[in-house]
């Protein structure tokens, strides 16, 4: 979490009695009174060391739980005045369920994830040249105060048409576009952007690149390649050569 965001949240939560930190074992929010995480306090200490407070929470205030389990979290409705879910939803297997439980147990809260722009930028992790963070599952964006989750595909580093070069990272951060942020009250609106085919997913990912860089050469080349392929399929079908040409066509397609 950025220092300016932490300061804003400290102001917003000042005087509140019950503040839940969801998945914050790595660095617990300073004013949190409760924690729910897949790690216990002892496991968090062993894994991460100091987690932001010098003393343990009172007994029962740190709950070890997989937040994606299809069971209600062990809190009554509207139990918390505020809940913080910082860089968690992009990791978990069922962010929609987590948003449902966030809405149920708290009156208001704050959510933050990497933005799709940052998640599609190559080399932001020192550990390797992949796009975004290797362990993240989702591209998260807001649209009309609604969270939208799109599955992060594995083909991002296969072509420049699916990711930004590493130099763009500084641009996203300097322009405050590196993170998806949402303050909410009452109920979180969230849905998955369901994509069922590879061509459709390619178009979704390309749309981010097009919006920032325009029609770069790799995108133009891919479009030309697809057009040639479709023309070839039509001609092969017309002249009854589909089965004979299929093995050859597949080799040519994979090569180019």
Confidence of residue 256 (pLDDT cuts 50, 70, 90): low
Tell me the average pLDDT across 112-134: 89
Question: What rounded mean pLDDT belongs to the chain?
Answer: 88
pTM here is: 0.85
CA distances from 86 to 57, 100, 224, 229 (A): 19, 16, 42, 45
Question: How far apart are alpha carbons 168 and 161 in whole angstroms?
Answer: 14
pLDDT, mean of residues 12-30: 93
Domains annotated on the chain, with CATH: 3-214 (3.40.50), 219-255 (no CATH)
pLDDT-above-70 percentage for the chain:
86
Average pLDDT over residues 18-39: 93
Q: What is the pLDDT of residue 233?
A: 67
| Tokens representing residue 3 in the block | 């220092």
pLDDT exceeds 70 at position 149: yes
Q: Residues 168, 188: contact at Cβ < 8 Å?
A: no
Mean pLDDT for 136-145 is 94
Give residue 1's pLDDT band: very low, low, confident or very high (50, 70, 90): confident
Whether residue 255 has pLDDT greater than 60: no
Dist. CA 231–CA 252, nearest whole Å:
14
Cβ count near 139 (within 10 Å): 27
Are the beta carbons of 192 and 96 closer than 8 angstroms? Answer: yes
* pLDDT for 124: 84
Q: What is the mean pLDDT of residues 211-235?
A: 78
Q: Are 105 and 73 in contact (CB under 8 A)?
A: yes
Residue 171 pLDDT: 95
CA–CA distance, 4 with 141 (Å, rounded to integer): 21
Which residues are within 8 A (CB) of 59 and not within 5 positions of it... i.e. 6 or more apart? none
């Amino acid at each position: 979490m950025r220092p300016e965001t932490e300061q804003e949240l400290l102001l917003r939560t000042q005087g509140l009695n019950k503040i839940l930190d969801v998945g914050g074992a790595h660095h617990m929010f300073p004013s949190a009174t409760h924690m729910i995480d897949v790690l216990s306090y002892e496991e968090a200490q062993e894994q991460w060391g100091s987690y932001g407070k010098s003393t343990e929470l009172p007994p029962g205030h740190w709950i070890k739980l997989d937040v994606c389990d299809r069971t209600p979290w062990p809190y009554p409705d509207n139990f918390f005045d505020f809940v913080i879910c910082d860089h968690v939803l992009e990791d978990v297997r069922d962010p929609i369920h987590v948003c449902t439980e966030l809405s149920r147990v708290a009156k208001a809260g704050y959510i933050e994830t990497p933005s799709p722009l940052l998640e599609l930028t190559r080399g932001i992790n020192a550990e390797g040249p992949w796009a975004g963070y290797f362990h993240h599952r989702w591209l998260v964006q807001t649209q009309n105060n609604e969270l939208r989750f799109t599955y992060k595909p594995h083909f991002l580093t296969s072509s420049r048409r699916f990711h930004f070069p590493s130099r763009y990272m500084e641009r996203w951060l300097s322009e405050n576009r590196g993170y998806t942020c949402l303050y909410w009250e009452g109920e979180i609106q969230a849905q998955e952007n369901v994509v069922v085919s590879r061509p459709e997913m390619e178009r979704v990912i390309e749309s981010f690149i097009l919006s920032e860089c325009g029609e770069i050469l790799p995108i133009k080349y891919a479009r030309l390649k697809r057009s040639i392929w479709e023309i070839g399929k039509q001609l092969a079908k017309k002249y009854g050569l589909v089965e004979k040409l299929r093995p050859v066509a597949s080799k040519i397609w994979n090569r180019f």
